[in-house]
Amino acid sequence: MKLYYAPNTCSLSPHIVLRELELEFELIRVDNKSKLTVDGQDYRTINPKGYVAALELENGQILTEGPAIVQYLADLKPERELAPPAGSWERLRLQEWLNFIATEIHAGSAPLFNTTLPETTKDIFREKLFKRFDFLQDTLAGRTCLTGSSFSIADAYLFTVLGWCKWFSIELHNWPALLAYQASVTLRPAVQAALRAEAPN
Ligand SMILES: N[C@@H](CCC(=O)N[C@@H](CS)C(=O)NCC(=O)O)C(=O)O
């Protein structure tokens, strides 16, 4: 399998999951500005949407959209319990989280990367995002993982998007459960390995 990724982006989530599952994979870096892969291919010929992440399977299929990719990966090794079985009620709960993270946190914070937006506009996005953080604070108080006590693909995704707060100068100290959650997920060996692999040389 090949994971097309760009450092510091949402592709960190499937990258963490690949390492958690100890699957064999190749990392292919994409320059999100030029849309060229590290070996000079036009990335849009791989993923016409032009954004990371994309997972290329051995059979040539290309799977895109982070929440779909991490579910595909988790189902390759169900015994590792990064996702409950497809069709179960618990799986729906996990999908509920993945959708929340994708639409409320990932898409909700993406405008804050936009250097052309005025601060007053960004304030509108921040205000909404902070409401979602309040909800996460209540959920994660006294819990180490989103769906209960064991790490899941939703945690790989939430950890990834929470990591962007440092680029937005958002202090997570206002949400101590989020800070504690981030600190505990950072310690996971697979997370450490993914962060090291994506760090500039
Ligand atoms: N809906 C997509 C969004 C992916 C996405 O936002 N990718 C960003 C990085 S976090 C990207 O590559 N942006 C570059 C671009 O849109 O040109 C998913 O969930 O996978």
Query: Each residue of 122-163: pLDDT tens digit?
Result: 999 999 999 999 999 999 998 999 998 799 999 999 999 999
Q: What is the DSSP string of the chain?
A: -EEEE-TTSTTHHHHHHHHHTT---EEEEEETTTTEETTS-BGGGT-TT--S-EEE-TTS-EEESHHHHHHHHHHHSGGG-SSPPTTSHHHHHHHHHHHHIIIIIIHHHGGGG-TTS-HHHHHHHHHHHHHHHHHHHHHHTT-SBTTBSS--HHHHHHHHHHGGGGTTT--GGGSHHHHHHHHHHHTSHHHHHHHHHHS--
Cα(53) to centroid of ligand 1, in Å? 7
Per-residue confidence (pLDDT) for residue 178, from 0 to 100: 98
Q: What residues does each domain of the chain span?
A: 2-80+190-198, 89-188
Cβ of 12 closer than 6 Å to ligand 1, yes or no, is no
**Contact status, residue 201 vs residue 8, Cβ threshold 8 Å:** no
* Mean pLDDT value of segment 167-192: 96
- Of 52, 55, 164, 167, the one to substitute when testing ligand 1's pocket (max ligand atoms within 8 A of C-beta) is 52
**Residue whose CA lies nearest to ligand 1 atom number 9:** 9
What CATH class does 89-188 carry?
mainly alpha
* Mean pLDDT value of segment 174-186: 97
Please name which of 102, 101, 68 lies closest in space to residue 86, comparing C-alpha atoms. Answer: 68
Global confidence as pTM: 0.98
- Provide the residue type at 200 as one letter: P
Cα(29) to centroid of ligand 1, in Å? 14
Cβ of 54 closer than 6 Å to ligand 1, yes or no, is no
Cα(51) to centroid of ligand 1, in Å? 5
Cβ of 9 closer than 6 Å to ligand 1, yes or no, is yes
**Residue whose CA lies nearest to ligand 1 atom number 20:** 65
Cα(130) to centroid of ligand 1, in Å? 21
Question: What's the mean per-residue pLDDT of the chain?
Answer: 97
Cα(35) to centroid of ligand 1, in Å? 12
Cβ of 37 closer than 6 Å to ligand 1, yes or no, is no
Query: Each residue of 29-68: pLDDT tens digit?
Result: 999 999 999 999 999 999 999 999 999 999 999 999 999 9
Residues 6+ apart with CB under 8 A from 161: 10, 13, 101, 105, 106, 109
Quote the CA–CA distance of 93 and 90 in Å, as a whole number: 5
Query: Each residue of 60-110: pLDDT tens digit?
Result: 999 999 999 999 999 999 999 999 999 999 999 999 999 999 999 999 999
Please tell me if the domain spanning 2-80+190-198 has the same topology as the one spanning 89-188: no
In CATH terms, the fold of domain 2-80+190-198 is: Glutaredoxin (3.40.30)
* Strand 54-56 to 2-5 pairing: antiparallel
